[in-house]
Structure 1
Amino acid sequence: MDMILLVGLAVGLSLAMTIAWAVQRRTGRSGWIDTIWSLAVGLGGIAAALLSDGDFARRMSALLVITAWSLRLGSHIGARTRSHDEDPRYAKLAEEWGDRAALRLFLFLQIQALAAFILVLAVYLAATNDAAFPGPLDLVALVIAVIALCGEAIADRQLAQFRKTPKAKTEVCETGLWRYSRHPNYFFEWLFWCCWLPLAANGGAWSWLALLAPLMMYWLLVHVSGIPPLEDHMLRSRGEKFRSLQNRVNAFFPGPRKTEHHHLEETRP
């Protein structure tokens, strides 16, 4: 491993999240945090691809994939931030932190910088793989990346269209991909990070560390900063309508819908 490059990437991501903290404090909109985070991960991945010493075609493929992810997600969150109020997840954290909200947010964003480094490390491990490109695992990786990028874009678009309808103020989205997962955008986001392990495979003794990216992303989305606070907000704002959705639709992995009658039969003693 090129430790100088990795340290430089870590410092750069820490500085990026410090800037994100300053922007949030100035604007009062925490959506810019996630926008900057997405772009910072993309820039870190691009730097890792350009400055590593793996197979050239593999490095350029990694660069294109991470650039596509960063630009799509960053632009989507940025557009949403300009047109929506404060993110309810950050608003709840600020309420819990009270008078120490500014300091706690700064420390929280440095933890996000660490998470970003783990993701960029996966890109770096793929880019330093000097095996000839493309091999069978590379093709699998690229298929996963395309499916994930397209799936998340479709899910985000379907939700954005639903939010423009009058019923969005009182109902929950069950159109398109949202009929089969309560959080299809999160599922495809996690799926995207699964592509880096096959791209890094056979790249050396450290290539297995690319597995940390999808493992961490799953843990964050399903158990920490993704589904739990968002569903807590939805239960407060939609009540029984969202509770009913929880009974019918899987939380994360897309799957067949359940009927209310079927759910009652399963839970009846």
Structure 2
Amino acid sequence: MTPDMTPDMTPDMTPIMQALMVAAVAALLMAGGWLWQRRHHNAGIVDAMWASGMAVAAVLLAWTGPGAATPRVLLAVLGGVWAGRLALHIWKRVRHGEEDGRYRALRAHWNGSQGKFALFFLAQAGLVVFMSLPFIAVAANPVPGMTPWAWLGVLVWAVSVAGETVADRQLDAFRADPANRGRTCRAGLWRVSRHPNYFFEWLHWFSYVALAAGSGLAWLAWVGPIAMYLFLRWISGIPYTEAQALRSRGEDYRQYQRTTPMLFPWFPKRDCAGSPHHRTPTPEE
């Protein structure tokens, strides 16, 4: 008997029941995050809680899904590792660091209203449910074994998670040097994209499109890359990040915007003499 032919010992849950289960877990996580934020005055914890919610959702949905064993195991491992790594990375940055400028601006705009922050955290719980729809599609995939689509999903996942990890480490190393305070990172992947971490985060969602191939709910998997692109490009990602960068780094970041692609990696622009525009600002700047 192959792994995909083993008796199904998991609860028989419909997609709606699965979504409600994820909603309950996400609400509890966000409630805890809100309480931590209230005590430490750092709303950046919401990002760590979102990633944690996605990790738990991947495992729970894989366990309760009606599909074959292989896509469900891949979902639990790949989704859990991706989101767990992201949660840990954000937590390390948040627990001892200052509140992200985006959330400081939000706190000032809301005059520190904890009621508004509570609604904000609750909305993030809803976002966990919404972004878990691709997981539901994968967990319902009845196609057994490692198909070409499954291998493609694993390959896309490996490339994107490795790329996001490298981008995060390059930025952390740059920020760790006090001499770089107030300057823009142009090292490694940050030379060819202003947001390589966002690019690989977006690319990662195509993993579940491939893993859901053959599922009756395969169309739900497209929610991942489409929604993530919209959020990163126009709603909560790049606009807020770049606004904060302009406030803190001014002309140096404006030059970076003029010479470096925003999301999709490509060669930086060159001046008339053929040299890349990546001048290091003087201490006075």
TM-score w.r.t. the length of structure 1 is 0.92
Contact 2:260–2:267, Cα closer than 8 Å, also in 1: yes
Aligned counterparts of 1:202 and 1:174: Cα–Cα separation in 2: 42
TM-score w.r.t. the length of structure 2 is 0.87
Contact 1:248–1:260, Cα closer than 8 Å, also in 2: no
Q: Deviations over 1:226-252 (max 9, x none)?
A: 111111111111111000000110111
142-151 vs 11-20, which moves further: 11-20
Structure of larger gyration radius:
2
1:236 is paired with a residue of what secondary structure?
helix
Equivalent position amino acid for 2:93 in 1: R
Alignment match, 2:145: 133
Query: Residue 133 of structure 1: CA displacement?
Result: 2.4
Aligned counterparts of 1:168 and 1:59: Cα–Cα separation in 2: 44
Map residues 65-76 of structure 1 onto 2, 5 A cutoff: 65-76=78-89
Alignment match, 1:247: 258
Query: Residue 209 of structure 1: CA displacement?
Result: 1.2
Q: Deviations over 1:160-206 (max 9, x none)?
A: 111122332132100000000001011111111121111112201x3
Q: Out of 191, 197, 200, which is 1:188 matched to?
A: 200
Alignment gaps of 5+ in structure 1: 263-269
The structure where helix makes up a greater share of residues is 1
90-99 vs 250-259, which moves further: 90-99
When the two structures are aligned, how many residues end up with a matched partner? 261
Alignment match, 2:49: 36
Is 2:212 the partner of 1:210?
no
Q: Out of 243, 246, 255, which is 1:235 matched to?
A: 246
Aligned counterparts of 1:234 and 1:216: Cα–Cα separation in 2: 24
Query: Residue 83 of structure 1: CA displacement?
Result: 3.3
Aligned counterparts of 2:272 and 2:28: Cα–Cα separation in 1: 52
Query: Residue 223 of structure 1: CA displacement?
Result: 1.0
RMSD, aligned α-carbons? 1.6
Alignment match, 1:143: 155
Query: Residue 261 of structure 1: CA displacement?
Result: 4.4
Q: Deviations over 1:67-106 (max 9, x none)?
A: 111221111111111232111111111111125x212222
2:111 is paired with a residue of what secondary structure?
helix
Aligned counterparts of 1:9 and 1:227: Cα–Cα separation in 2: 27
Alignment gaps of 5+ in structure 2: 1-13, 274-285
Contact 2:156–2:204, Cα closer than 8 Å, also in 1: yes
Aligned counterparts of 2:254 and 2:138: Cα–Cα separation in 1: 41
Aligned counterparts of 1:70 and 1:6: Cα–Cα separation in 2: 18
Contact 2:170–2:187, Cα closer than 8 Å, also in 1: yes
Alignment match, 1:11: 24
Aligned counterparts of 2:90 and 2:260: Cα–Cα separation in 1: 25
Contact 1:201–1:208, Cα closer than 8 Å, also in 2: no
Equivalent position amino acid for 2:246 in 1: L
Alignment match, 2:90: 77
2:95 is paired with a residue of what secondary structure?
helix
Alignment match, 1:23: 36
Map residues 41-120 of structure 1 onto 2, 5 A cutoff: 41-98=54-111, 101-120=113-132
Contact 2:152–2:210, Cα closer than 8 Å, also in 1: yes
Residue 261 to residue 20, structure 1, CA distance change in 2 (3 Å)? farther
**How high is the sequence identity, in percent, across the aligned residues?**
34
